[in-house]
Amino acid sequence: MFFIFIVILIALVFEYINGFHDTANSIATTVSTKVLTPRQAIILAATFNLIGAMTGVAVATTIGRGLVDTQCITLPAIFCALIGAILWNLLTWWLGLPSSSSHALIGGLCGAAVANADGKWSVIHWAIANPDTGRMEGLLPKVVLPMVLSPVLGIVVGFLLMGLLQIVLRKLTPRLINLIFGKLQLLSASWMGFSHGTNDAQKTMGIIALVLFTATQSGTLDTLPSWLCFLRTPRFEIAVWIKIICALTMAAGTAAGGWRIIRTLGHKMVRLQPIHGFAAETTAATIIQIASHWGIPLSTTHVISTSIMGVGMTKRLSAVKWGIVGRMVWAWILTIPITAILAYWLQRLVMGIDIP
């Protein structure tokens, strides 16, 4: 029983780290363009992350039961998945690399599930048809394909939107453009914060719901006192209290900030003005919202980073620091494999099996 609360606590630690690790996604452009001070930007991002996190459950459902066979998930497996994701998040945060917390969690969950199933890859839902909706779900359509397409969309849409703005506003003075988009960027930053909450916060909601569902199915919660009966859940569902606690935790993490990553996204990769920040945030937030609607656990890091690249390319190709971009891409590529291996090894250790 005690271990259940430990796993939930670790899940909330992940959510907190996700908040400060991904703060830069919402506020880097706003800070770098000097539209808001860092403190103001963090308050804005935390507020709209909180609001967004309370909206919808599609992404949480995908994480909780759409990627691996829930029959092969145990509480130790979830614990190992979270530890693997947290270790990778802390390492990339320390290095100042905007890697994906979403993919770290997904990789950890898949690795732990495979280890728990004695190396059987079939426990991963690669691509299956949902009998209720007829849509394809699983790791390939919901994670791998969006992982490839979303950065491409970020670059292309960011480039096109910025190019369109330049054409429409070509007769205005730079001073007037900065004044207008300094105000409009407040809206785009809020939209970005809200979108981040609708996608990222839901991932931990799905994990906590999976913890309680797994514990209920195994009978671990049968001896709960009556006042804790709300923890027992005979079917997978995202309870309101789970939404609230995850939303508050992510908002608290966001408020803690993530200045190393902010410097990478907002200063080192490309120099931005308010109009560029508006274009990048609007592009990223719109893509994330579409993904959230379809229950796709998108990497907000990938989308905002590539949107900034696309916007920066309208200046000139050399305006983007491609060396830094290369380091980021390697972090993206390695995230799922490394967290899967970490969680796999941890789960094997927990099971008392020697690591080959």
* pLDDT at residue 341, rounded to an integer: 95
User: How many beta carbons lie within 10 A of that of residue 94, not counting itself?
Assistant: 9
Q: pLDDT tens, 19-55? A: 776 666 667 778 777 788 877 887 888 888 889 888 8
Q: Is 136 helix (H, G, I), strand (E, B) or coil?
A: strand
Q: pLDDT tens, 147-169? A: 888 888 999 999 999 999 999 99
Rounded distance, CA 216 to CA 353, Å?
A: 26
Q: Is 183 exposed, middle or buried (0-12, 13-18, 19+ CB in 10 A)?
A: exposed
What are the counts of helices (DSSP H) followed by strands (DSSP E) for the chain? 14, 2
**Count of the separate structural domains present in the chain:** 1
Report if residue 9 sits inside a domain.
yes
Report if residue 355 sits inside a domain.
no
Q: What percent of the chain has pLDDT over 70?
A: 89
The secondary element (H helix, E strand) that includes residue 23 is helix 23-32
125 DSSP 8-state letter: -
Report if residue 219 sits inside a domain.
yes
Report if residue 78 sits inside a domain.
yes
pTM: 0.85
Report if residue 32 sits inside a domain.
yes
**What are the beta bridge partners of residue 133?**
none
**Mean pLDDT of all residues in 76-98:** 85
Report if residue 356 sits inside a domain.
no
Identify which of 238, 325, 322, 303 has the alpha carbon closest to the alpha carbon of residue 102: 303
Q: Is the pLDDT of residue 356 over 50?
A: no
Rounded distance, CA 279 to CA 164, Å?
A: 10
Rounded distance, CA 240 to CA 4, Å?
A: 19
Query: Can you give the residue range of the structural domain that contains 34?
Result: 2-350
